[in-house]
Amino acid sequence: MEAIDIEKGCGLGIHELLKDAIALEESADPQDADPGVEGEDSDNDEVPAPSIPVDPKIGSLNLPGDTPPNAVPQSRANRQRKRKREAEILKYGYRPSPIGLKRHVRMAASVKTDLDVKDLPATSCGYAATGHTPPKPALPAAIQALVDQGYEVVKNDGKTCKVFVGPDNRIFAVAAGQPCDPTYKEDHDDVCRAFLDVGARLRYRDSELNHKRGDFPAVNIGVTHSRGTKHPVFLKSDHQEAIDELLEMKGLQRMAKFANGAFSLSPASMHIRNPLIAAFATWAPNLYSYYKRYTDDLFEKMPKLRRIFGGKSVFPCVAFNFGPRVCTVSHRDQLNLSFGWCSIQALGWFDPERGGHLVLDDIKKIIEFPAGSLILIPSATLIHRNLPVQDHEVRMSFTQFCSGGIFRFVDNGFRTQNELKEQDPQACREIMEKKKSRWNLGLSLWSKLSDVVQVVPELAAM
Residues that bind Fe ion (CB under 5 A): 333, 379
Residue from 437, 91, 443 nearest 284 by CA: 443
| Cα–Cα distance list, 2 to 41, 88, 315 (Å) | 35, 21, 21
Check if the beta carbon of residue 278 is closer than 8 Å to that of residue 270.
Answer: yes
Tell me how far, at minimum, the Cβ of 344 lies from Fe ion, in Å: 7
Residue nearer to Fe ion on the CB measure, 210 or 440: 210
Tell me how far, at minimum, the Cβ of 135 lies from Fe ion, in Å: 16
In angstroms, the CA 246 to CA 208 distance is: 17
3-class secondary-structure state, position 63: coil
Tell me how far, at minimum, the Cβ of 328 lies from Fe ion, in Å: 6
Check if the beta carbon of residue 346 is closer than 8 Å to that of residue 370.
Answer: yes
Residue nearer to Fe ion on the CB measure, 42 or 379: 379
Tell me how far, at minimum, the Cβ of 397 lies from Fe ion, in Å: 9
Residue nearer to Fe ion on the CB measure, 321 or 412: 321
Residue nearer to Fe ion on the CB measure, 50 or 222: 222
CB proximity list for 131: less than 8 A, separation 6 or greater: 334
Tell me how far, at minimum, the Cβ of 228 lies from Fe ion, in Å: 20
In angstroms, the CA 18 to CA 30 distance is: 20
Tell me how far, at minimum, the Cβ of 51 lies from Fe ion, in Å: 22
In angstroms, the CA 222 to CA 343 distance is: 15
Tell me how far, at minimum, the Cβ of 379 lies from Fe ion, in Å: 5
Q: How many CB atoms lie within 10 A of CB 328?
A: 22
Residue nearer to Fe ion on the CB measure, 338 or 379: 379
∠ CA 330-334-340, rounded to 5°: 110
Question: CB-hemisphere CA count at 13 Å for 24?
Answer: 17
Check if the beta carbon of residue 282 is closer than 8 Å to that of residue 9.
Answer: no
Question: CB-hemisphere CA count at 13 Å for 201?
Answer: 10
Residue nearer to Fe ion on the CB measure, 211 or 421: 211
Residue nearer to Fe ion on the CB measure, 290 or 401: 401
User: For residue 454, what is the enclosing H or E element?
Assistant: none
